[in-house]
Amino acid sequence: MDVIGPINPKAFNGHLFILVAIDYFTKWVEAITLASVTAKVVARFLKRDVIARYGVSATIHRNSTPYRPQMNGAVEAANKNIKKIIEKMTVNYKDWHEMFPYALLAYRTSIRTSTGATPYSLVYGMEAILPIEVEIPSMRILAETELEEADGQNSVTSS
């Protein structure tokens, strides 16, 4: 877990921080934006956004120290990537909180070099269909559609 911020300028909703938690195996990131970071909001985030979704993890902090942030390599890399994605997506930097869910989607559906896969595929066992693929079908979507149509034709002809 780590905190990004304070982010300047603060978002229109008054949020200055991003609280980030990463699973070291899948590189899946859960994160929320916050106006302030307190023990109460961190505990609520862990209960609502981590434990309620994925269950209790074996460990929460491992080899983590606030005095040596470079020890938190995975979460530091995630923070850097999330910040870059947000910067590229925002028109008016004060709207960064509006783009935040899409930045998380972009991060979760990008291949991580350390695993050779997307965090999304490691968590859900399949790739996500991205919003752009609804408008402009990708090769993957076209191939899946052809397979589904072939399966449908085979079941009709074999009856």
CA R_g for the chain: 19
CB 156 within 8 A of CB 66: no
List the chain domain ranges: 2-126, 129-158
The reply to whether the predicted model has a pTM over 0.85 is: no
In this predicted structure, what is the pLDDT of residue 116? 93
In this predicted structure, what is the pLDDT of residue 137? 67
What CATH number has the domain spanning 2-126?
3.30.420.10
How far is the C-alpha of 59 from the C-alpha of 50, rounded, in Å?
A: 12
Residue 126 exposure: Cα atoms within 13 Å on the Cβ side: 6
In this predicted structure, what is the pLDDT of residue 68? 54
In this predicted structure, what is the pLDDT of residue 61? 65
- Residues of the chain with pLDDT below 50 are 155-159
